[in-house]
Chains A and B, each alone.
Chain A
């Protein structure tokens, strides 16, 4: 998608080895169960078992074809394809004899695909790889080794998740700093953010969402790919638009995931994100009214005021009430959906 970064490096997106039997006239896989490893993120194969066929032109076999899926769980743009490593019965078929058929647009060479910058190969969509080989394959066993290589395409939405709260605090300071902050240099009346408690509930929520959105989207993504594709097919047959598919298929199917995640967050309400509340407001005394949580309170009692008894009291309170809350929430979650319960 737009905005995601493209890095020119070759990644072996996945590979698959298949032993194939070819009875005349169609070919099929004899043993598609592959013991070694996962082939694509959510399926365990790249090549569809019964897809091997000879290509015919004027009644003569001119090559063979098989259907593949994309190994990358997000799918990718066709321009990122560079041809595949295809080995069949020991013979290697180079990119020059390969053509690629996807999205119902007929066969295209990989040179043509390089230009398809905006055409996406969706996850779960099957493509057909055609390989030119005069005479085609004979009936019998065939072993195809396919290595799917695509240029890597990376979304940096996960990046905020990877950095520490200290760095986040630096970034927030660059935005909100008193005289030099980005926002203050745009405002006519500079606001001293680090002395104004009223903004911080919003700032902290925003920073937290900013940091977590990539992470949460992966959790939801893994739930979304678990939805039965046939539901979407059925919806399409009934004439549902994409919006309607989201509204009437995706969201209802995600219901239990959403509720569970929310309940678990509510259950952890006593355990705040220490870094968020301690680092991001820069430990500014003027903001304690809105940024002091049990965690920061305990920390300050212990390390700054050296009052161990107050600190342990706070800590114990947090542990007991927090656990009671998690326990109750878990009971509710278990009622809703046993699989999502913590215990």
Chain B
């Protein structure tokens, strides 16, 4: 390779490209720095002088507040989010590949019509109103943990498509035939042959599903009013909503008092930091699978 021999033009090119990429990297990372630094700034300074990239007056009060007894709600919300993420990802990994495996089988006669039903809904579905009515009136998931797990569980034809493509490409029908001749049942084939051969795709999709559950706030918005069941994201949202409502009423009697009781700006920022922290810490470890997942999806849905 002659890539080591750089002409003057190439050098100039490299400088320009480094500048551009540094700019992009800064754009990506600076808002997070702002978030973290404002969570470490004293609240009063934040109110009088505003946010800045470097804390003007350092204070860890926000985190003290969060982790003292005042912040019990945030731990509850954390718990809900953890539970929903783990249950949702687990169940999704259990049933998603099963459906896809059925669809990918050539000896299943109704695979075609079933596939159509699954994949057509990716492009054309009734939208939020019918699903809202169905989940609340038929399945009565309102204000239960199910409301946070179920609606997104059965609603993703895209992952089914990825599983199915993977099965068709990687699991040869002869393998299944051979197992059958040896006397293996369908369940045995699925759990002992199909799943072990599909671990990479399970990891990739499991990761995306888990991330989806962790970041999900729409289910909470529609199906949960009970503050005890607030997930982390919804809890964060409710706080900022309250502040906005109160500030729009400012001038009315008692509003100032209520506003004063609300968590201050630095505490809000600290909560947001706490909300993204697990993702930011785990990110280096799952980045590769995540990138593979995006490349796999190719065209996003």
User: What is the interface of chain A, defined by CB distance below 8 A to chain B?
Assistant: 1-5, 7, 9, 37, 41, 73, 103-105, 122, 125-126, 152, 154-160, 162-167, 169-171, 173-175, 177-182, 184-185, 210, 213-215, 218-219, 221-222, 236, 241-243, 260-261, 264, 274-275, 279, 282-284, 295, 298-299, 302-303, 308, 311-312, 315-316, 318-319, 322-323, 326-327, 340, 342-343
Contacts and interface: CB of A to CB of B under 8 A. Distances in A.
A303 B222 contact: yes
A1 B23 CA distance: 11
Given A9-B284, A219-B300, A302-B128, A156 B28 contact: yes
Nearest to B18: A2
Contacts of A264: 299
A184 B50 contact: yes
A156 B34 contact: no
Contacts of A219: 294-295, 298-300
Nearest to A126: B1
A185 B13 contact: no
A158 B287 contact: yes
9 contacts: A104-B1, A154-B287, A162-B283, A164-B275, A166-B237, A173-B240, A175-B34, A214-B28, A241-B9
Interface string B96-132: 0000000000000000000000010001111111101
Contacts of B34: 171, 174-175, 182
Task: List 10 tightest A-B contacts by C-beta distance, closest first.
Answer: A185-B50, A3-B25, A164-B215, A315-B127, A103-B4, A104-B4, A222-B295, A170-B272, A242-B13, A323-B124
B52 A156 contact: no
A311 B217 contact: no
A37 B50 CA distance: 53
B280 to A, nearest CB: 7
Contact of A218 (B22, B28, B265, B294): B294
B62 interface: no
Nearest to A194: B244
Main secondary structure of the interface of B (DSSP, over half): helix
Contacts of B233: 164, 166-167
A82 to B, nearest CB: 17
Given A3-B21, A103-B3, A164-B233, 18 more contacts: A1-B25, A3-B22, A126-B1, A154-B287, A156-B283, A157-B25, A160-B31, A166-B233, A166-B272, A175-B31, A180-B51, A181-B50, A185-B52, A218-B295, A219-B294, A260-B299, A283-B241, A283-B244
Given A184-B50, A241-B13, A242-B9, A274 B25 contact: no
Interface string B274-301: 0110011001100100111011001110
B35 A159 contact: no
Counting chain A CB atoms within 10 Å of each CB, the highest count among B26, B49, B295 belongs to: B295
B27 interface: yes
Contacts of B216: 164
Interface of B: 1-5, 7, 9-10, 13, 18, 21-22, 24-29, 31-32, 34-35, 38, 46-47, 49-52, 119, 123-130, 132-133, 200, 211, 214-218, 221-222, 233-234, 236-237, 240-241, 244, 247, 265, 268-269, 272, 275-276, 279-280, 283-284, 287, 290-292, 294-295, 298-300
A274 B200 CA distance: 31
A316 B127 contact: yes
A128 to B, nearest CB: 11
B272 A104 contact: no
Contacts of A236: 2
Contact of A167 (B27, B38, B130, B275): B275
A166 B237 CA distance: 6
A310 to B, nearest CB: 10
Contacts of B272: 166-167, 170-171
B279 to A, nearest CB: 5
Given A164-B217, A274-B218, A323 B275 contact: no
Contacts of A302: 128-129, 132
B126 A213 contact: no
Nearest to A182: B51
A264 to B, nearest CB: 6
A274 B287 CA distance: 26
B265 A180 contact: yes
A306 to B, nearest CB: 11
A104 to B, nearest CB: 4
Contacts of A175: 31, 34, 51
B124 A159 contact: no
Nearest to A313: B129
Contacts of A181: 50-51
A284 B243 CA distance: 12
A299 B21 contact: no
A166 B217 contact: yes
A163 B300 contact: no
A175 B32 CA distance: 11
Contact of B130 (A9, A152, A260, A312): A312
A213 B9 contact: no
A340 B300 CA distance: 11
Contact of A41 (B13, B218, B292): B292
A215 B300 contact: yes
A312 B129 contact: yes
A64 B300 CA distance: 46
A315 B280 CA distance: 36
Contacts of B2: 104, 236
Contacts of A326: 123
A152 B284 contact: yes
A174 B51 contact: yes
Given A167-B272, A181-B51, A184-B50, A156 B25 contact: yes
